[in-house]
Chains A and B, each alone.
Chain A
């Protein structure tokens, strides 16, 4: 059974640029959620995708957007990067819609915005 994978591992971008992060869900899972973890804090929910549709969103501006593909992999896109976007971005997959299924996390992508 393949676990959740994310790419790239690390990324450095300049303020104002755009970035795309990728996540492959665990085998048998149809739901992907994205989280932002700033240094020294717990992860914060960005949004969830279920069967290629956005299914719930946290308190993040529209410049954070996403996609889910037919194979249930997902992308997180962030436009007009700001310095405060520097964080560890985690994706989690689960076998059903909503947050009450057990969530399995990938290793994360560490984004630095300069």
Chain B
């Protein structure tokens, strides 16, 4: 099956710093999502981005499907950005058998 690797595994930042999280996947994918999992376990949708670039406030994401990677940019980080960031890709091309495969995650801690 498809392998989804995220880097770095852990990231510690001071409030106000910028960061880039990377997601590499081993095969062609049908779609890609970025999530933020807060300390209570809730997965929050950040981006639904099979290709191209999207921006939402301080966050933006770029997916280059032909090169099998996606990047998540966080600017002017805040303590509320702390948590684990997952990318998830859709493996398979049939709606009967495709499934969402999650990456290894990046744990972000932002200190004041």
Contact = CB atoms under 8 A, between A and B. Distances in A.
B104 to A, nearest CB: 6
Contact of A99 (B40, B41, B99, B104): B99
Interface residues of B, number: 27
A91 B36 CA distance: 16
A72 interface: no
Interface stretch (A17-25, A61-69, A73-81, A105-113): A105-113
Contacts of A110: 41
- Chain A: number of interface residues, binned into ranges: 20 to 34
A70 interface: no
Contacts of B40: 107
A56 B45 contact: no
- Top 9 A-B pairs, shortest CB-CB distance: A98-B95, A42-B102, A105-B43, A102-B48, A99-B98, A45-B99, A100-B31, A97-B95, A99-B100
Interface of A: 33, 35, 37, 41-45, 48, 55-56, 58, 88, 90, 92, 96-100, 102-105, 107-108, 110
